[in-house]
Structure 1
Amino acid sequence: MDVLAHPGFLTPEEARLAKENGVLIEITGRMGHNITNGHVVGVARAAGAAMIIDSDAHAPENLMDEAAARTVALGAGMTEAEADLALNVTPFEAIKRIRH
């Protein structure tokens, strides 16, 4: 599975390349890494790149439940529809790609 993790100040070119190559763009719940989430959502959205919500957990207490992940998504500026896609569709499509 290809995910561009905590992409920071993602550029339009990087987002375009991610889309062309099927690389998912991470929207992270990790403190410090999540400061650019709003920027990342805007650039990924403009490029049509797929986004995925991730906890970037370094310890069990860093894991998120679905409610926390939805809060991260909406706090980053995703619409409800984008959040639903990133939480309930994209992860499962990514797993299917790995299996084939």
Structure 2
Amino acid sequence: MDGEPERKYEAQRIDLHTHSLLSDGEVVPSELVRRAERMAHVAVGLTDHVDSSNLEWVAERIVEVAEDLNESRDIRVVSGVELTHVNPSRIPDLAKEARRIGIEMVVVHGETPIEPVIEGTNLAALKCNDVSFLAHPGLITFKQAELAEKTQTYFELTSRRGHSLANGRIARFAVKTGAKLLVNTDAHSPGELLTLEEAKMVAEGAGLEESEVEEAVGINPRLLLEEL
């Protein structure tokens, strides 16, 4: 906005998309967070997979463990869920229910080129005010990228094998429309977490210029954290 001082952020590793044993990850949340902390992460999002069958059970436990860890750790732990393969028409209701339970950040599993995600999922997520970002939305359209800029919904660039195939498309549309990008891992094991420099390489590999890399890795994750 004109007249506002430009906010600058020192680039620090923030990964807002990870999975624990509460869905299909390999370790309990506490171990995942500790390992991220040892890799110099300043914030990590716990975003286990949910649909209508397990939303309440998973969300309540993520909220509880995030509160517990935030009391004793220097790293910020963000409570989240990833709405996965749900009917697009159900996204608003499930996202609202997650927020009611206390979840800070609702992620939607986007229309990736390697999984049969229901067509219309990306658009439904972009229209939902309770959704923070679209995970690996590889089949995004240019018009949807324009909508993301208007709704201030973030797009994810991912290091996850397969999902990352469309990073270049996502980055190109985001740069043209002004949609905000984040670099996350979608880690299902501690070995899939990335250092700050590795995260920058993901952004560079998607075709971003140096200033755009700084936005995706340093500035935008901080902005999203401020919004939660």
TM-score, normalisation: structure 1: 0.94
Shift of 1:9: 2.1
Ranges in structure 2 where 5+ consecutive residues have no aligned partner: 1-104, 106-131
Instruction: Say if 2:214 is the partner of 1:92.
Output: no
SS of equivalent residue, structure 2 residue 146: helix
Matching residue of 2:27: none
Instruction: Say if 2:118 is the partner of 1:18.
Output: no
CA deviation profile, 1:13-36 (whole Å, cap 9, x unmatched): 111111111101100011110001
SS of equivalent residue, structure 2 residue 186: coil
The structure richer in helix per residue is 1
Matching residue of 1:44: 174
Ranges in structure 1 where 5+ consecutive residues have no aligned partner: none
CA deviation profile, 1:47-74 (whole Å, cap 9, x unmatched): 1101111111111111111111011000
Matching residue of 2:11: none
Give the Cα separation in 2 of the matches to 1:18 and 1:50. 8
Give the Cα separation in 2 of the matches to 1:38 and 1:57. 20
Instruction: Say if 2:154 is the partner of 1:6.
Output: no
Give the Cα separation in 2 of the matches to 1:80 and 1:29. 18
Percent of residue pairs identical: 36
Matching residue of 1:55: 185
Matching residue of 1:34: 164
Give the aligned residue type for 1:11: T
Give the Cα separation in 2 of the matches to 1:8 and 1:85. 20
RMSD, aligned α-carbons:
0.8
SS of equivalent residue, structure 2 residue 140: coil
Give the Cα separation in 2 of the matches to 1:60 and 1:54. 13
Matching residue of 2:71: none
Structure with the bigger RCO (C-alpha within 8 Å, sep 6+) is: 1
Give the aligned residue type for 1:28: T
Q: After TM superposition, which residue ranges in structure 1, 4 or more long, deviate above 3 angstroms? A: none
TM-score, normalisation: structure 2: 0.42
Q: What is the aligned length?
A: 98
